[in-house]
Amino acid sequence: MPELPGADIEVGEVRTYPYTIMTSHVIGYVGPVTQAERDSGKALLAMPGFRIGKNGVEKEYDETLRGEPGELQLEMNARGRVVRELARHEPVIGKDVKLTLDIGLQQIVERRLEKEKSAAAVVMDIYTGAIYALVSHPGFDPNLFTYGISQLDWDALNNDQHVPLLNKVTDGVYAPGSTFKIVTAMAGLDSGLLRPQETVYCPGHMDLGNHRFHCWKRGGHGAVNFVQAMAGSCDTFFYDLGKRVGIDRLQMMAKRLGLGKKTGIDFPHERSGLIPSRSWKMATRDSAWQQGETLITAIGQGYVLTSPLQLAVMMSRIVNGGFEVTPHVRMGEHDMAGTIPQGRSLDFDPAHLVLLREALSAVVNESIGTAHSARIMEPGCSMAGKTGTAQVRRITTAERSDGIMANEDLPWKERDHALFVGYGPVGAPRYACAAIVEHGGSGAHVAAPIVRDILTACQKRNPAAG
């Protein structure tokens, strides 16, 4: 190098993501420093070509992973040659961030979702909140961002109708459909307005004023009690219960179970969803709450919006004995020690939780259950849960009289969302799993088998967890 005084060859490091699409929404990616970030005053960010975390764990734990830069002060002569070293401060290498993900389970979930156009699923520990798998499909290859993504690739990702850059587990919010009946049931039990053995007759609809609210089962369920109504997902039963409970109790119970607010997961982005209330409607729509809106809220339609992660948190709180739990992806002391942190009690009556778990088991394991065909047949494994099918379009009176169009006959964007939230094993729960297939159709026939396969894999990979 004598001919190039002051020039040196330095070895640098760049990010590489060996799991590519599979972990894209958990790990995130790195990208160039923006002008606003460069103006923060940190000298390291002003270095040409420097990359920082832009999403996922890369962004959430960017400074932890980055470490601290070193410093070298040199005395130079007029020709640019080094005379002597004045001071040296060695750099501090960034810390590793160990995640709670089970990469084998992550692979299983990714493969299970890849045949769907747009879907998401998450598995968490109901006691510790550790996330064992989190997949939003389709994903993207974070390696595209390492050297700067091309305009062609960027446009392809942004113009894809299946939104591969969106983490649907945390940032996707959807009408929860009948999975919300868990909230309605707990509101009824907690208020004393739901008596387990009382029956409601379902002729296939419920009339309120001059409006008719239909049950999904056109001929009706007949007389059903609570467990039977939950197992068969009888809309009429929950219309009636919602009417008695009222929107205020529904809203308070939903919040108590973790819906309508951020879960606190250690990600840089998360949407809170929406649980409507009287004050919310007046503030946003400038109109009073109507009783009919309470009925459709009771079955998870209308204004209600939740994320798959929130549904998993809701289920965890129901089956862990009624304690708060915060999902997380960074391995903590409790995770490494195998201990269970004590969350705040939600003050549920244990008898109500037992009854609700019985009803959720009936959904899957009794012949009248909507998810009976998706039950786990593997010896030593089991699950319970709740199906959900959320409409994304309004069905007109004329269409009802002529015959409702089958999902497969509709354009993809007009088909129902398929949801299922479940837990396992039934006798000694440890895992909660929520899945959504966008415009997939029936929750019982599309989402429930996905959760079945995931929870089966969880229990086979760790049979002693229960």
List the beta bridge partners of residue 437: 119, 418
Q: Residue 141 domain-assigned?
A: yes
Residue 48's pLDDT band (cuts 50, 70, 90): confident
Which member of 136, 178, 307, 361 is catalytic?
178
pLDDT per position as a tens digit, 326-372: 999 999 988 888 888 888 999 999 999 999 999 999 999 999 999 99
Q: Both 38 and 120 in a single domain? A: no
List the beta bridge partners of residue 434: 122, 421
Residue 404's pLDDT band (cuts 50, 70, 90): low
Contact 176, 304 (CB under 8 A): yes
Q: Residue 187 domain-assigned?
A: yes
E strands within 2-89? 30-32, 51-53, 71-76, 82-89
pLDDT per position as a tens digit, 422-442: 999 999 999 999 999 999 999
Average pLDDT, the chain: 92
Q: Both 408 and 261 in a single domain? A: yes
Is it the case that residue 399 has pLDDT exceeding 60?
A: no
CA angle at 238 for the pair 232 and 240, rounded to the nearest 5°: 135
Q: Both 71 and 111 in a single domain? A: no
Is it the case that residue 191 has pLDDT exceeding 70?
A: yes
Q: Residue 6 domain-assigned?
A: no
Is it the case that residue 402 has pLDDT exceeding 60?
A: no
Q: Which region holds residue 321: left if phi is over 0, alpha if psi is between -120 and 50, else beta?
A: left
178 is catalytic: yes
- How many contiguous H segments (helices) and E segments (strands) does the chain have? 17, 13
- Residue that finishes a domain, picked among 89, 124, 150: 89
- Residue that finishes a domain, picked among 66, 89, 112: 89
pLDDT per position as a tens digit, 70-85: 788 888 888 888 888 8
- Domain range for 64: 20-89
CA angle at 204 for the pair 198 and 207, rounded to the nearest 5°: 85
Q: Report, as an integer, the average pLDDT of 186-204.
A: 96
Q: Both 236 and 196 in a single domain? A: yes
Is it the case that residue 466 has pLDDT exceeding 50?
A: no
Q: Report, as an integer, the average pLDDT of 87-114.
A: 93
Q: Residue 451 domain-assigned?
A: yes
Identity of the residue numbered 199: T
Q: Both 64 and 151 in a single domain? A: no
For residue 149, the SS3 value is coil
Which value, in Å, is the radius of gyration of the alpha carbons in the chain? Answer: 26
- Residue that finishes a domain, picked among 29, 60, 89: 89
Number of separate domains in the chain: 2
% of the chain beyond a pLDDT of 90: 76
Residue whose structure tokens are 């002003």:
46
Q: Which helix (H) or strand (E) is 135 found in, with range?
A: strand 131-137
Residue 36's pLDDT band (cuts 50, 70, 90): confident
Q: Both 182 and 118 in a single domain? A: yes
Q: Which residue has the higher pLDDT, 90 or 309?
A: 309
Residue 395's pLDDT band (cuts 50, 70, 90): low
Q: Both 203 and 276 in a single domain? A: yes
Is it the case that residue 55 has pLDDT exceeding 70?
A: yes
Closest to 120 measured CA to CA, from 457, 341, 464, 451: 451
pTM as predicted: 0.91
